[in-house]
Amino acid sequence: MIRISEIFGPTIQGEGALIGQPTVFVRTGGCDYRCSWCDTLHAVDSEFRHEWKPMSTEDILKEIEKLSSSKPLMVSLSGGNPAIQPLGDLINLGHEKDYQFALETQGSIAKDWFTDLDILTLSPKPPSSGHNTDWDAFDECVKAAGPKTRTVMKIVIFDDADYAYAQDAAKRYPDLPLYLQPGNHQVDGNPDMDGLNQRLLWLAERVTNDNWHTAHVLPQLHVMLWGNQKGV
């Protein structure tokens, strides 16, 4: 059984390499991190565990098919940290029906089924999160994905320290496409859109002024469209 916080969509992917792509989200419950700026505490903190629903692989796929009218599309596996959950059978069963699967994780737990993903987004957490990155564990995640899975890196940026962290990460993994996005500093209630736009402008200017031509700077599109609403 897989602990599910919510399944919703189709909606538009709001960040990373698949930004703008129609997607069904399968959000699992539980995480080994507690980031200071987490915007999905309902899928992270154990105080919400009574809201998480144990579901079988078959029932999850049925819900995906229902939401997508049985028309295959990208399925985003998120959390929390979805790497905690046994998702390998879901990926293989979905592939049999022509669905594609993307997973986002901080890179703290490697699973052998990473090699079955269509895209793996590794999102190591910068200093503003309050966590230190275990790069050995991150290495294992990259290795687990192997050459068949498209693996990319995404980092949230709040300040100069986060920016320096991202530059170091890019040097460690020059072969991983890197996506940078401004962090959302107000995750409760209505977001501070002016503040987010100013951080996005600062980040874009910083990257271009530093001649950092391999980084992709993106907004959090879902926040721009729907604010901090759940299930969109």
- Give pLDDT tens digits for 182-222: 988 766 777 788 888 999 999 999 999 999 999 999 998 87
**Given this model, what pLDDT does residue 191 score?**
76
SS3 of 112-132: HHHHHCCEEEECCCCHHHCCC
Confidence tier at 231 by pLDDT (50, 70, 90): low
Per-residue confidence band for 228, with pLDDT thresholds at 50, 70 and 90: low
Q: DSSP 3-state assignment of 101?
A: strand
Q: Within a domain: residue 103?
A: yes
Specify the pTM: 0.93
> Is there a domain that residue 153 lies in?
yes
Residue 112 lies in a domain: yes
Mean pLDDT of 49-68: 96
- Number of structural domains in the chain: 1
Across the beta sheet with 178-182, what order do the strands follow?
A: 53-55, 2-12, 22-28, 74-78, 100-105, 119-122, 150-157, 178-182, 215-217
Instruction: Say how far apart CA 185 and CA 195 lie, in whole Å.
Output: 8
Q: Which domain holds residue 213?
A: 2-226
Average pLDDT, the chain: 93
Q: Within a domain: residue 232? A: no
**Among 38-42, 78-82, 165-169, where is mean pLDDT lowest?**
38-42
Q: Would you say residue 231 lies in a domain?
A: no
Kindly state whether residue 101 falls inside one of the protein's structural domains: yes
List the CATH number of the domain containing 93.
3.20.20.70
Identify whether 26 is part of a domain. Answer: yes
Does residue 188 sit within a domain? yes
Residues paired with 103 in a beta bridge: 77, 120
Q: How many CB atoms lie within 10 A of CB 138?
A: 21
Amino acid, single-letter form, for residue 132? N
Q: Could you read off the pLDDT of 104-162 as tens digits, one per residue?
A: 999 999 999 999 999 999 999 999 999 999 999 999 999 999 999 999 999 999 999 99
